[in-house]
A and B are shown apart, each in its own frame.
Chain A
Amino acid sequence: MSGWALLAFILAVALGTALTRFLPALYAHHAADPRVARLLQGVPAAALGALLVTSFETALPPHYLVTTLIALALAAVLAWRPGGVLWPVLGAVMVAALGLSLHIG
């Protein structure tokens, strides 16, 4: 593919993605019906569950399931007490680094 075709590719993808992001946002306030609002209220948590499934297998290299589970369990325990998300995340990263360096799979 030539340079111009690649540039056109970027612009076409960017335009479509921008419209996908922007147009629903523009009309979001029209979703004021209580039933629609209640349906949309569940979307963030649903996305959270879906993202956990889709990214779980790629979070760490393959064959590090034990390290992954321990790191995420630590994050859940640390998050149970109020105090923000930074410590749970840093704790999980440190456990992941330790598990990877010790090859705990």
Chain B
Amino acid sequence: MDTERTALVDPRALPIALGYLPVAFAFGLSAVALHLPGWFAIGLSLLVYAGASQFAALHLLQVGTPWLAAVVSIWLINLRMALEGLSFFRRVDWGRRLPYLALLLTDETFVAASLGDPIGPAAYRRLVWLPYATWVLGTAFGVAAGGLLPALLRHAFGIAIDALFVSLLVEAVQADRKTLWAATAGAVGAFLGSRLGGWSLVAGMLLGAAAYFAASLRPGGQA
């Protein structure tokens, strides 16, 4: 629950924001490189805030996909968020703050907020605002001044989110060994799903959840 009310930012938000910065920057750069207006890239980051689908949007527009087909494709890409929201928001009563807090849920903040003790609205807000602000500002910087950040640094920051995932996984496995089954099955599902075309995260989450469920049915498997 929310025991710490003084910190402005959850420490787990920093690596997420660090990881978002170069990606958002690259997104802004890519949009301009494809001769799309800067406001379009910033608008997508501001209102959609979902990296994979934003890059997919650029690709779909670049290859001339019809308007409606592109929109529906992006909805499908973002369907995994329904599963994440269903898993995350059941643990705490969010009250009237639910609508806007739900809009800031991403893959990374979902994982960071879900593993460990349940967190409430205040702690969740401390986790999500910085990555969102970084995502929008990073896009704007990418649009405005593409070459300012050295390429070496931009690439090195790319490891930040993966390192965060590894750290969270180590912590989670230390607390509950069954999460290793879920993570392994999730990885296998994602690998297989990517071979089936664009369903890697959804496939991984379904397979991993099933593996966790199966592991918890074994004698002594209750968390």
Contact = CB atoms under 8 A, between A and B. Distances in A.
Contacts of A23: 82, 85
Interface residues of A, number: 75
A42 to B, nearest CB: 2
Interface string A43-85: 1111111111111101111000000100110011011100011
B167 A43 contact: no
Interface string A80-105: 10001110111111111100110000
A50 B186 contact: yes
B123 to A, nearest CB: 14
A42 B170 contact: no
Given A9-B71, A13-B44, A44-B111, A85 B164 contact: yes
Contact of B88 (A10, A28, A56, A76): A28
| Chain B interface SS verdict (over half) | helix
Contacts of A86: 11, 14-15
A28 B114 CA distance: 14
B149 interface: no
B66 to A, nearest CB: 10
A89 B83 contact: no
B36 A40 contact: no
Interface residues of B, number: 98
B213 A58 contact: no
A24 B82 contact: yes
A40 B86 contact: yes
Nearest to A61: B155
Interface in B48-80: 48-50, 53, 57, 61, 67, 70-71, 74-75, 78-79
Interface string A1-20: 10101111111111011101
A60 B155 contact: yes
Interface in B197-219: 200-201, 203-213, 216
B172 A38 contact: no
A25 B102 contact: yes
A48 B103 contact: no
B59 to A, nearest CB: 14
Most B CB within 10 A of own CB, among A32, A76, A93? A93
29 contacts: A9-B71, A12-B71, A21-B78, A22-B102, A23-B82, A27-B86, A28-B90, A38-B213, A42-B213, A45-B186, A45-B208, A46-B204, A47-B84, A48-B183, A49-B186, A49-B187, A49-B188, A51-B108, A53-B190, A53-B191, A54-B190, A55-B162, A68-B162, A71-B163, A79-B170, A90-B15, A92-B166, A93-B159, A97-B156
Interface of A: 1, 3, 5-14, 16-18, 20-29, 31-32, 35, 37-56, 58-61, 68, 71-72, 75-76, 78-80, 84-86, 88-97, 100-101
* Nearest 5 interchain pairs by C-beta: A46-B208, A42-B212, A50-B204, A49-B186, A46-B186
